[in-house]
Each structure stands twice: as structure tokens, then as C-alpha cells.
Amino acid sequence: MSHAIPSRPQVSLDRSHIAIVASKYNQVYVDAMLEAARDELQAIVPNVSITVYRVPGAFEVPVTVEKVLRSTETDAVIALGVIIRGETEHGDLVGASVTDALQNIAVTHGIPVVHEVLLMDNEEQAEARCMGGEINRGAEAARVAAEMVSLFKKMGVSRHR
């Protein structure tokens, strides 16, 4: 696993609409990723429009991403959430379900869905990946989203031509 955020991509975007679907569960960690994602998108894409949808937990993220892609002109969606493993397999089951659903949604719609619904063993891992300066999966997700939207634009498949 990487221990640093990849460098900021060089993107060619004059405007873009990015949706962020963020879980409220484990809110302190998700909020830190959300803030980092917003800040990074604003730094990379001059005229970015960001719409945030808050959902109760990680399990509700995919259905909301699906609804966003069906009902809006979004160039990419960033999915944010934090699942911390407990004493049962519930966290692993939710994590696998969310991962499979998000991948299927992205492929079906042909729109980038950046998956940062993180499954971690403990709060120390969550703090390091969501609140740290060296690693922040929210900022990383923003960079991936901007790079994918730019790539799709170059390919002639972006929603805003």
C-alpha cells in the first residue's frame, strides 16, 4: 500500500461537475476526507461544481451513487466512507458489497466512480488515512476524479463537451 498521495495531475478541464457521496457514519474521518477532496478539486479544476450527498452509512453509498448518475449531469462521483472492522464479519461483508456495487455502477454508466469507502482494522488506521497530511484518501480521490474526467474528455466521452 502506498504511503504517500500521488502527485497532483496535470488536467485539461475548463469546467466539471463532480458529485461526492459521503457517509455520516464514522463522521470525523469521513468529514476530513470530504474537506480534503473539496479543497483538492478546487485547486485542480478552476470552475469545478461540487455537489455533496450525505448518507447514513457505507451501505447506502452505492444506491445513492446510482441515483446521482441516473438523475444528474455528473462527470464523476467520489464515494467516501469509513468502515472499521469489529468483532464480527459485518464490516467485511459491507465492504465487499460496496466495492462490487460501485464497480458495477461505474462500468454500467461509463462514468468514473472513485471508490474511497475504506475498510480498516482500527481507528488509528482511519486517522492515518483520512486525517493525515502524508496520506489523505480524500485528496487522492479528488486527484483520481479530475484525472479520469480529463481523460474521458480527451477521449470525447465526457458529459460536458
Which helix (H) or strand (E) element contains residue 101? helix 90-109
Catalytic hit among 90, 109, 115, 160? 90
Q: Which residue has the cell 458529459?
A: 159
Q: Indicate the domain borders of the chain.
A: 16-153
Cβ contact 81:30 at 8 Å: yes
- CA–CA gap between residue 110 and residue 91 (Å, rounded): 28
Q: Which residues contact 143 (CB under 8 A, 6 or more apart)?
A: 5, 6, 8, 9, 40, 44
- CA–CA gap between residue 114 and residue 152 (Å, rounded): 14
Residue 81 cell numbers, joined: 466512507
pLDDT number for residue 134: 72
Higher-pLDDT residue of 38 and 159 is: 38
Higher-pLDDT residue of 154 and 1 is: 154
pLDDT number for residue 161: 38
Q: Please choose, from the candidates 44, 42, 49, the residue with its C-alpha nearest in 3D space to the C-alpha of residue 16.
A: 49
Beta bridge partner(s), residue 16:
48
pLDDT at 160 over 60: no
Helices 137-155 and 123-130, interaxial angle, to 10°?
Answer: 50
* Bridging pattern class, strands 76-84 and 16-23: parallel
Residue 13 binned pLDDT confidence (cut-offs 50, 70, 90): low
Class of domain 16-153: alpha beta
pLDDT at 67 over 90: yes
DSSP 8-state code for residue 15? -
- CA–CA gap between residue 24 and residue 50 (Å, rounded): 18
Residue 136 cell numbers, joined: 489523505
Residue 151 cell numbers, joined: 481523460
Does the annotation count 3 as an active-site position?
no
The predicted model scores a pTM of 0.90
